[in-house]
Structure 1
Amino acid sequence: MKVEEMKRYIDDHAQNIISDLKGFVDIPSVSSDKENVDKALDYVLQLAKNMGFEAKSVLNHQVGVIEIGEGEETIGILSHVDVVPPENPQSWISPPFEMTERNGHLWGRGTMDDKGAIIVCLYAMKCLFESGEPLKKKVQMILGTQEEVEWSDMEAYVANFPLPDYGFTPDGEFPLCNIEKGCMDVELHFDLDETRDRDGWYFTSILAGQATNAVPGNCSCQLVRYQNGAAAESKTLTTTGKAVHSCQPEKGENAIFNMADLVAQTEHRENQISRILMMLKEKFSSLYGEEVGLYSKSEMYNGEFVHRNVFAPTLVRTDKNHLLVHINIRFAYGTAETEIITRLREVAEAYGGKLQVSSSMPAVYVSKERPFMKAFAQAYEEGSGRKHAFVLAYGGSYAKAMPGIVSWGPIFPGDEDTCHEDNEHISIKSLLDNGKVFAIALNKVALSEQSFK
């Protein structure tokens, strides 16, 4: 198929793409909801089977595998069917799990991250499959179910199955992300002091955030007024912000920091909850680690842009006599993970707490000179009409799970990034342009005799 034929193929199937995506988005596959995550995975696998592809689930339904073609090399497409919860369903223009088409855009949780990309990748594979030309390589789509949380799915897959030789995950942005920040999740645990021997208002609980990788848009604190050692009355403080993906917290507004500002203006007796709130505002509101000694010395590594270390408190909550704080960290390539842990442990211990590392995934660096990278670059220019460039991926993706995988799409330069935000949406044009780029890329690689390793 020629380039223009592939573009026309995607355009001709636009209504099928939109219809299939609606059925997908309408399944509320939040990572913790196994029943609906399973339904979402089954939905995609059935779509693939209807297209004539080999499709199955493995590892007790943790991962889906969809394949076409065969050969000595395998092109991997890694993605995920799970989504983050809607931060505040009441603030959505339309229900988050009922995809709606308005003003040339598709609205709903997962339209951008990552269900829309999965659907157009399927149609890119279908375009290749129906070309009638013999495939010289295998194309393998690998679908996870826990990408938005702990990656137990992909860890199990990597440990038990052969891996593709190279490929992409459409879970970031264009042009081509050959560098991706590392990701670390750290929990700080603090014991709460329960001494309330003086009359006055005390903070007794706090709750903020729903996902470890999203800046919280809401925070609430409970205060109780004690008199003569007994609770006399109570009240609740609430603050709001703007929920965004924690890889770029500067695009949002953290409700935890807003709560710290409100607490500073509220009459109360200082206790551990109020102290930790003030500490979070002081140490982390600058985002880049200046106040904890983790400010990156440079934004460059070997002449390429890697940005800086970024820190975002994403969860704060009380549980009986304990306070938990979750910090999501996106660290620049070249940063020592041990230094991050050491510095944050010092912060926790200074406030009588302890540090626990939940998970850490390395930064990614893939050479621009690899043949598959050059093929992807050409496909981007031919499919989108835009100039190619190699760029940094701020977020974490399955590119960290396997060697030779890069983050590529679905967000074009100039498009609004609504991943993990209320009112997530993607334009129909951008969605279809994704399909065109991917179809051209698969055509270039899968139909060629040459090696792209």
Structure 2
Amino acid sequence: MKARIDAYFDHPDRRAQLIAGISRLVAVKSVREAAAPGQPYGPGPAAALDEGVALAREMGFRAENLENYVATADLNDKETALHILGHLDVVGEGKGWSTDPYTCVERDGMLYGRGVSDDKGPVMCALMAMQAVRDLALPLSRNVKLIMGGDEESGSSDLAWYYANHPYAPYTFTPDANFPLINIEKGHYHPDFGKTWEAETVLPRVTGLQGGFRTNVVPPEAQCVVAGISPIDCAVEARQVQAETGAVFTLAEADGGLSIHCAGRNAHAASPDDGLNAISALLALLARLPLADCESTRAIQAMHTLFPFGDNRGQALGIGQADEESGPLTLNLALMTLTGTGFTAKFDVRFPLCANEENCKNACEASLARYGIAVTGDAGMVPPHHVPADTPLVRTLLDCYRSYTGDTDAKPLAIGGGTYVHDIPGGVAFGCEFPGFDPKMHAADEQASVEQLLTACKIFTLAIARLCG
């Protein structure tokens, strides 16, 4: 079977078909916009779903657009055993492209365009795998249904709608992540917390602080104003903290005091080690200044103690933990605002399977309470998504991957981020990004390797044959 699949996709026509199909999908600017009548995600995603249906029908599949939430394509009329979840919506193009983001360009074996990797290229791979199973007359006893979504990038309400009206399949995977396979997505905990106090007059003190812009991003910038102190009074400490952290401080005169800007480096909250947290670096500097003994100073010192620079594991907060299967807890102090009468803040924790309410949520609240800081609102823990490695789905998909890569040591992955199957019982993420390849996801010049996409087609073909045969 493997030899027949190889021969099928090694034919030049398959390469041309793959590029042509991806090009048609990329040409549709499918960024979510305001809802319109019959278009819950706006005209772009609706047009992309229509194009997905047109492609599937041209390839001989029964396909339909379901109220512009999702589109589906079925391989046969048998009972469905497998759902493949891809999406046709994309993030905005942003700036810095060397090509037109909505024209698929091939150069030196690479495709460039918004969606070539996330997730229009993988959707085309799934369609061509279904086509190969049919053309090669591989024996099937059950159906595979490709579900093409229109809202993955903005919350996956498309799948919530679909599964509120349709049953789950025995097996589900999404080609919207990484190979070899992701079977664990860590849980999420991101409470709001803070403290208030009466207006203060003592000097020197911090009168305002602002840092971060999104919960799931390591804050690249933070700034504050310190009344009653001058830049020269802070210069030595700023150089010391800059050398220790790598963050860059800019000091300037401000009305009645000092303005401090801290430049760090952003990264996804699921990988905080890749960034430089500007908020915690700024707190490290402020904790060294000769500030007056007052509530705002005590709040800054407490935040520095609980969230010291470089502690991306929550050790100081008392929630650090890890297990062999899913790895360590990660923490990103994402947002902080301080005014003359209080402060608010928010962190983003991705916790492993061993975490629970007692050793994570309750432990965090107890640590904050020791400094008079309280969690506000209902901050619950979103549980991890975990599909055991010994399930038939995981074993079969990994075996298919190993067959085409020769990577006999390939093992399931645990990640801090979430994928399209996070809320799907038994679902896993499987491809299309191969180890070591950077697709420039959500960035300018998003790219995909043609050869890697064709290999993904082969892997998916074998997976369909084994799961539905």
Partner of residue 387, structure 2:
365
Structure 1 unmatched runs, 5+: 449-453
Amino acid at match of 1:140: K
CA contact (8 A) 1:409 1:434 kept: yes
Instruction: Say if 1:165 and 1:182 are closer, same or farther in 2 by CA, change over 3 A.
Output: same
Gaps of 5+ in 2: 230-253
Give secondary structure in 1 for the equivalent of 2:74.
strand
**Which residue of 178, 182, 191 corresponds with 1:173?**
178
The separation in 2 between residues aligned to 1:357 and 1:173, in whole angstroms, is 30
1:278 maps to 304
Is residue 137 from structure 1 mapped to residue 160 from structure 2 by the alignment?
no
- Aligned-pair CA distance for 1:186: 1.4
Shift of the alpha carbon at 1:332?
2.0
1:337, CA displacement in angstroms? 4.3
Q: 2:348 aligns with which of 328, 333, 347?
A: 328
**1:435 and 2:439 are equivalent in the alignment:** no
Q: Which amino acid aligns with 2:304?
A: M
Partner of 1:74, secondary structure, is strand
2:83 maps to 1:76: yes
Q: Following the alignment from structure 2 to structure 1, what is the Cα–Cα distance between the partners of residues 425 and 123?
A: 21
Q: Which amino acid aligns with 1:239?
A: A
Match of 1:387, SS state, is coil
More displaced, 161-170 or 198-207? Answer: 198-207
Match for residue 218 of structure 2? Answer: 215
User: Residue 295 of structure 1 aligns with which residue?
Assistant: 320
Pick which of 98-107 and 406-415 moved more.
98-107
| 1:163 CA displacement | 0.7
> Which of the two has higher C-alpha Rg?
2
- The residue identity in structure 2 corresponding to 1:48 is A
Question: 1:261-410 alignment to 2 at 5 Å?
Answer: 261=284, 263=286, 270=296, 274=300, 278=304, 281-282=307-308, 285-296=310-321, 299-300=323-324, 305-316=325-336, 325-349=345-369, 350-355=371-376, 356-357=378-379, 360-370=382-392, 372-387=393-408, 389-394=410-415, 395-410=417-432
Letter in 2 for 1:289: G
Counterpart contact for 1:81–1:144, Cα < 8 Å: yes
Once the two structures are TM-superposed, the CA of residue 75 in structure 1 deviates from its matched residue by 0.6
CA contact (8 A) 2:117 2:448 kept: yes
Kindly state the Cα deviation for residue 184 of structure 1 after the two structures are TM-superposed: 1.0
Deviation at 1:380, TM superposition (A): 1.6
Is residue 28 of structure 2 the alignment partner of residue 28 of structure 1? no
Change in Cα spacing, 1:274 to 1:96, as seen in structure 2 (3 Å) is farther
**Where does residue 248 of structure 2 map in the other structure?**
none
Alpha-carbon deviation of 1:338?
4.7
Deviates more, 1:284-293 or 1:405-414: 284-293
Query: What is the Cα deviation at residue 165 of structure 1?
Result: 0.9
Task: Give the aligned partner of residue 23 of structure 2.
Answer: 19
RMSD: 4.1
Q: Does the aligned pair in 1 maintain the 2:205–2:297 contact within 8 Å?
A: no
Give CA-to-partner distance per residue, 1:257-310, whole Å, 9 cap, x none.
Answer: 44445655789774588557635642x73222222222325x32xxxx321222
Structure-2 residue corresponding to 1:451: none
- Describe the superposition over 1:94-139 as per-residue Cα deviations: whole angstroms up to 9, x where unpaired: 6877766555444555544434322322322233344456753221
Q: How many percent of aligned residue pairs carry the same amino acid?
A: 25
2:7 corresponds to 1:5: yes
Distance 2:130 2:24 in 1: 15
How many angstroms apart in 2 are the aligned matches of 1:383 and 1:100?
27
- Number of the residue aligned with 2:234: none
Equivalent residues, number: 430
Letter in 2 for 1:118: V
Give the match's secondary structure for 1:291: coil
2:169 aligned partner? 164
**Which of 23, 31, 44 does residue 52 from structure 2 map onto?**
44
2:62 counterpart (37, 54, 60):
54
Please report the TM-score for the alignment, with normalisation by the length of structure 1: 0.76
The whole-number CA distance in structure 2 between the counterparts of 1:197 and 1:93 is 54
Of 262, 270, 283, which aligns to 1:247?
A: 270
- Shift of the 398–22 alpha-carbon distance from structure 1 to 2, 3 Å rule, reads closer
